[in-house]
Every structure is written in C-alpha cells, then in structure tokens.
C-alpha cells in the first residue's frame, strides 16, 4: 500500500493544483478592465458590473442597471526542462506543457432603490490544463522507465455562479454579501511505457473523471470619503471541494483500486483596494490581496474499494507546507476624451510553494505588466480591451517518484492574457 499511496498522492496533487499563472491554482482573469489595470482597485472602482467578482458592496454605487460580459484568452506557456534521474539520465524537456484557455464571464447589477441593489454573476477563480505525456514513454537504456506517476495530462475547470446584494447605510458607507455556487470538473490520466522482457509495455496508473458542486460566499464593504476618493474590502470564503466520479488506480501490489471522492481544501481570499481621482482626467488605484493557501493542508480520498471490497472510508494522502500568497498591484486610469479611456497596471504575485515543490506545480513569484482601454460606442454601450504579460521565474526542483526515485527538473511559467468585454447601461 505504500507504493499505492505515493502514486495516488501524485495524482491528487496534479488534479488539484497544476499551473494556472497565479499563486497555487488561482485565476486572475475575471474582466477585461481588471486585466488592463492589473486588477488594481477592482474591489472599489465600480466602473462596470464586473466589480461583482471582487466586492458585492460596490453595487451600492450604481444608479442604473448594468450588464457586462466578456471573454479572456489565456495563452499560457509552461516549460518543464531537463527532467533528470538522480543517476544523471535525462528524460528530456517539454517546451509547451500548458494549453491555451478561453475563460468567459457574465455580470448583471440592478439597483432596486437608493438603498438596495442585487446582482448575478458567472466567472472562474480556479482552473488549469497541462500535459507532460510526451515524456512518459521514455525508457533510458531499455531499463529505466520515466517517472510516469509524476507525468501526464490534467484538465481542471471551475465555474463560480454568484448571487449578491448590497445595502447603503448613508452617503459614505455600504456593505454587501453574496453566495457562491461552484461547479468543478477534472480529468486526469497517468501512464506510460515500462520495460519488460518482451519489450516496452504501456501501463495505465491513473484514470480520473470527477466533478462536483460546492457552496461558498463573500462579504464586503465600501467607504466613500467623497466622489473622488474611496476604499473597499472583501472576504471570500471558499469551501472544501468534493469531486466525485470514477477514480481508477493501478497498484503493482494491491491491483485495481477505486475511490469515489477526492476532497480538496480551497483557500479564502481577502483584499483591500483604493481609488483616488487625482485630477479631472487621471485616477490612481491599488490592491493588496491575501489568499490563504496555507489552508491547503491536506488532500483526502473517500469510499475506496479494492477488488470490490470496501477499504478505509477516508484516507489522508498528504500534509502540505504551502505558504499564504500575497498579491500587490497598482494602476492608473486616464480619460483621454469622451470616447476613449486608457489604463495600465503592474502586479507582483507571490508563489505558494515552499520547500515541497513539484513538476506538476511550476509555481514561482510572478510580475504582471498590463494595459487596456475602454471605447464608448454610445451613452449606453462600451467595449473594454485588456492585455497582460505575465512573467515567472526559473525554478529548480527535486521530486520523488514512487517508481524510480528522485527526479530533478527546472520549470518556468509565463502567459499572455487577451481580454474583451461588452458593457451596457440600461
């Protein structure tokens, strides 16, 4: 069972947390305006309905119904270089281990009166997609197989459906709260060639197809000093996510092993943001955000069977040593004329992986360099554009494979985000 636990652990880690160009497996892609200003001030600017993804209290600043919807194309580049056995045998590199993603969003805000407003939203906070399968069939010298328990294909998607409401106490102070309904699904395969007397044979170690629904929530507040200066804060609670489905493993000793559920703890998100209109045309804004990746402490599996016979109802697979992650961003908005508004921003996003690193998690500190614009088609309609260049760092790591021992590698993750958004004021 020791070999089985290590193999299942590698699978569970990859399902939960492969690279997404933010700390851990977090996404920052909720709107074109946010991308254009590096999400600086996004919890309090309230220039369109996408503020729902950051702070429901900001709906109190809307005096008319608004609709925002858009798409973000994430061109992710993950390199896994010089995957090497402790003996020095080199399995090769993967120059493009990630797949590009199209990430949609939708937001609607409706003021009821001068006190109440409500809104609905659809966006994503977590997700990923990588593939290192091309290294899994490499056998060194006909005897040393690749670490197939650490390599393979992963696809994880989450969708957050949010319903929120806000209340304005007076001209200065407003609060808001909302409920998140989170749907997630994941597909994972692990397998590859192993040596045998009759030549290489393909072995399927892992085949996972699981999905689930979880419930979270968000609370927020906004304080307006005056029309030109305001600050806001929000706290998003993320639940432990339970994915159920077919989780099939093959262990050389125990044989076929199946679990019906994987339990993945999700981090909470706290942020503070400010907005300051310094001149008639120029505004400065900023954000500090804490994501509690230290809560990602343990992955468990449930309802396991071996040969149709029940095993322990719950098994602890791993206790993590991840760190909480901080994000700091600053941005500026410049109103060029009645038709065009320009914005730019910079973000520093800290990685979460401490001493325990993984090929499946090419995590590092990252710098975001962003720009964007809004074009007003009419008094009611506008288009937003945003682009972000995300640059990570080279990370050298050592990871233990249950099959072949220590594996050395260097990983790096970069990305370019392209985003467009349509806004309509009713």
* Confidence class for position 68, pLDDT limits 50, 70, 90: very high
To the nearest 10°, report the CA torsion of 134, 404, 265, 43. Answer: -50
For residues 364 and 348, the answer to whether their CB atoms sit within 8 Å is: no
Q: Is the pLDDT of residue 342 over 70?
A: yes
* pLDDT band at 246; cut points 50, 70, 90: confident
The neighbouring-strand residues paired with 240 are 265
List the domain range (segments joined by +) for residue 388: 2-425
Neighbours of 179 (CB within 10 A): 13
240-251 and 201-226 strand pairing: antiparallel
Choice among 104-113, 225-234, 321-330, 377-386 with the minimum mean pLDDT: 321-330
Q: Which residue has better confidence, 157 or 219? A: 219
**Is the pLDDT confidence value at 289 over 80?**
yes
Q: Are 370 and 345 in contact (CB under 8 A)?
A: yes
Where is pLDDT greater, at 40 or 187? 40
Q: Is the dihedral of CA 11, 148, 412, 85 positive or negative?
A: positive
CATH code at position 230: 2.40.160.60
Residue carrying structure tokens 């288009």: 383
Residue 215, H or E segment: strand 201-226
Higher pLDDT, 132 or 68: 68
Q: Quote the CA–CA distance of 108 and 66 in Å, as a whole number.
A: 6
pLDDT 10s digits, 263-284 = 878 889 999 999 999 999 999 9
Mean pLDDT of 289-309: 79
Burial of 383 (0-12, 13-18, 19+ CB in 10 A): middle
pTM of the model: 0.86
* Structure confidence at residue 9 as a pLDDT band (50, 70, 90): very low
Confidence (pLDDT) at 359: 67
In this structure, of 20-24, 37-41, 78-82, the range with the lowest mean pLDDT score is 20-24
Say how far apart CA 408 and CA 122 lie, in whole Å.
Answer: 40
The whole-number pLDDT of residue 381 equals 97
pLDDT for res 358: 64
Q: Are 387 and 369 in contact (CB under 8 A)?
A: no
Q: Take residue 369 and report the two structure tokens written for it.
A: 């360099």
For residues 30-61, one letter each, b for 16 or more C-beta atoms within 10 angstroms of the residue's C-beta and e for the rest, the string is bbbbbbbbbbbbbbbbbbbbbbbbbbbbbbbb
Which among 385, 36, 59 is positioned nearest to 28, based on CA atoms?
A: 36
| Residue 389 scores a pLDDT above 80 | yes
Per-residue confidence (pLDDT) for residue 222, from 0 to 100 = 98
- Across the chain, mean pLDDT equals 85
pLDDT tens-digit map of 192-227: 888 887 778 888 877 778 888 999 999 999 999 999
* Number of domains making up the chain: 1
pLDDT of residue 368: 96
Q: What percent of the chain has a predicted confidence (pLDDT) above 70?
A: 88
Q: What's the Cα-to-Cα distance from 143 to each of 251, 300, 403, rounded to whole Å?
A: 20, 34, 12
The reported pLDDT for the residue numbered 176 is 98
Tell me: pLDDT of 297 over 60: yes
Q: Does the structure show a pLDDT above 60 at 243?
A: yes
CA angle 318, 150, 76 (to 5 degrees): 105
Tell me if residue 29 falls in helix, strand or coil. coil
For the cut 90, the answer to whether the pLDDT of residue 315 exceeds it is no
Residue 121's pLDDT band (cuts 50, 70, 90): very high
1 pLDDT more than 80: no
Binned at pLDDT 50, 70 and 90, residue 16 comes out as: very low
d(CA 309, CA 90): 41
């Amino acid at each position: 069972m020791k070999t089985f636990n290590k193999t299942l652990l590698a699978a569970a880690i990859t399902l939960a947390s492969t690279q997404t160009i933010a700390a851990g497996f977090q996404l920052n892609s909720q709107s074109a305006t946010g991308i254009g200003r590096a999400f600086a001030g996004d919890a309090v600017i309230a220039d369109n309905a996408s503020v729902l993804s950051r702070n429901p209290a900001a709906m109190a600043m809307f005096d008319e119904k608004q609709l925002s919807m858009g798409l973000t194309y994430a061109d992710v580049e993950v390199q896994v270089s010089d995957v090497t056995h402790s003996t020095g045998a080199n399995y090769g590199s993967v120059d493009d281990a990630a797949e590009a993603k199209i990430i949609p969003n939708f937001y609607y805000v409706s003021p009821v009166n001068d006190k109440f407003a409500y809104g609905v939203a659809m966006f994503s906070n977590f997700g990923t997609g990588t593939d290192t399968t091309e290294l899994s069939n490499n056998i060194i010298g006909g005897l040393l197989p690749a670490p197939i328990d650490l390599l393979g294909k992963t696809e994880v998607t989450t969708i957050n459906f949010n319903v929120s409401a806000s209340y304005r106490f007076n001209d200065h102070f407003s609060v808001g709260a909302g409920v998140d309904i989170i749907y997630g699904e994941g597909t994972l395969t692990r397998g590859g060639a192993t040596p045998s007397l009759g030549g290489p044979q393909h072995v399927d170690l892992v085949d996972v197809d699981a999905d689930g629904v979880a419930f979270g929530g968000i609370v927020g507040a906004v304080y307006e000093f005056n029309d030109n200066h305001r600050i806001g804060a929000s706290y998003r609670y993320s639940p432990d996510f339970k994915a159920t489905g077919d989780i099939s493993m093959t262990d050389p000793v125990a044989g076929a092993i199946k679990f019906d559920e994987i339990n993945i703890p999700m981090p909470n998100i706290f942020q503070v943001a400010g907005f300051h209109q310094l001149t008639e045309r120029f505004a400065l804004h900023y954000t500090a955000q804490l994501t509690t990746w230290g809560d990602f402490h343990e992955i468990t599996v449930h309802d396991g069977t071996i040969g149709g016979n029940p095993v322990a109802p719950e098994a602890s697979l791993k206790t993590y040593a991840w760190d909480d992650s901080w994000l700091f961003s600053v941005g500026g908005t410049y109103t060029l004329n009645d038709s065009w508004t320009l914005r730019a921003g910079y973000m520093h996003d800290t990685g979460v992986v401490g001493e325990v690193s993984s090929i499946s998690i090419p995590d590092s500190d990252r710098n975001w360099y962003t720009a964007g614009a809004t074009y007003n088609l009419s008094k009611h309609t506008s288009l937003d554009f945003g682009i972000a260049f995300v640059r990570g760092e080279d990370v050298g790591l050592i990871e233990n494979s249950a099959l072949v021992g220590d594996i050395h590698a260097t990983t790096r993750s970069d990305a370019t985000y392209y985003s467009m958004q349509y806004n309509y004021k009713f």
